[in-house]
Amino acid sequence: MTETPQPLQAQARQPGREQEMAPRPDYEPRHPGCGRLDGRVALITGGDSGIGRAAAVAMAREGASAIAFAYLNEHEDARETAGLIEREGAEALPMVGDIGDEAFCQEAVRQTVERFGRLDILVNNAAEQHEVDDLSELEASQLERTFRTNVFGYFFMTKAALPHLRDGAAIINTTSITAYQGHRTLIDYSATRGAIVSFTRSMAQALVNRGIRVNAVAPGPIWTPLIPASFDPDHVARHGSNAPMRRAGQPNEVAPCYVFLASDDSSYMTGQVLHPNGGTIVGS
């Protein structure tokens, strides 16, 4: 595939809405499922749209019996995602709340286990990002908000889930190419993504003796609602053009990483990071 510029567009709020994007991101799995996640229950944060939606639908197609997902306030996207999960034959449980609030994370896990009787896969995926041209513009309120969503939320959700995870369970964290390269205008966001790489490696060591694997995915420039919600229209139109493949990736090009890390196909992997980023070589 070659470079495919996006139309000029922007959204004035975060999180962005998939409903408002043009073209819409491609979430549809490209292949039939083969039962790699038969009977498993997953909880995905930020599962209403973008990479989270694509991962949810892909896991449902691979035989997961239920997908619970948390989202902030994108109700239309969440309703659509629930329908897509159910179309694949799995049950869906949308839950609205802020993962930066530890009480909500505890409640989301409680609802999931109460409804489905188990929890096998946790995907920490929700995130936010805000541009600043200079560090002097980065106010304490934004710094705290970005870390609360992108780091605290991952800690809170993992802490709440751990009592329910058993031998063979998987935790998958979304980090970013910016954890390895940095980003001139996404200073606090990049710092949070670096923290998640370290969190992944630390938790992998802490949980290996319990048989719980912890890995991560570090996407590059992917066409998700976070992009028009974060950047000006000119940047959005060029999104992904600097990658070696000269285009933005689609969520369904990232979702297979989550299925792989959740399944027994990755049974000899923990503490690792996969890099669907359009060909950019990054350090480990």
**Mean per-residue pLDDT over the chain, rounded:** 95
User: What share of the chain has pLDDT > 90, as a percent?
Assistant: 85
Kindly report the backbone phi and psi dihedral angles of residue 177, in degrees, each rounded to the nearest multiple of 5, phi listed first.
-60, -25
pLDDT of 12 above 80: no
State the average pLDDT over residues 126-142. Answer: 94
Entry pTM: 0.95
Task: Look at residue 250 and tell me if it is in a domain.
Answer: yes
Q: Which domain holds residue 74?
A: 34-274
Structure-derived torsion over alpha carbons of residues 116, 121, 124, 125, reported in degrees to the nearest 10: -90
Task: Look at residue 238 and tell me if it is in a domain.
Answer: yes
Per the annotation, the verdict on 189 as an active-site residue is yes
The pLDDT of residue 284 is 62
CA distances to 5, 69, 245, 276 from 22, rounded to whole Å, are 11, 24, 21, 22
Task: Look at residue 15 and tell me if it is in a domain.
Answer: no
Q: Give how far the C-alpha of residue 31 lies from the chain's centroid of Cα atoms, to the nearest Å.
A: 21
**Cβ neighbours, 10 Å, residue 117:** 11
Task: Name the β-bridge partners of 215.
Answer: 172
Domain of 73: which CATH number? 3.40.50.720
Q: What's the count of helices (H) and strands (E) in the chain, helices before strands?
A: 10, 7
pLDDT tier, 7 (very low <50, low <70, confident <90, very high otherwise)? confident
Task: Look at residue 38 and tell me if it is in a domain.
Answer: yes
Task: Look at residue 24 and tell me if it is in a domain.
Answer: no
pLDDT of 229 above 90: no
Residues 94, 78 contacting (CB under 8 angstroms): yes
The two tokens of residue 138 are 């980065």
Domain count for the chain: 1
Single out the catalytic residue among 71, 154, 180, 189.
189
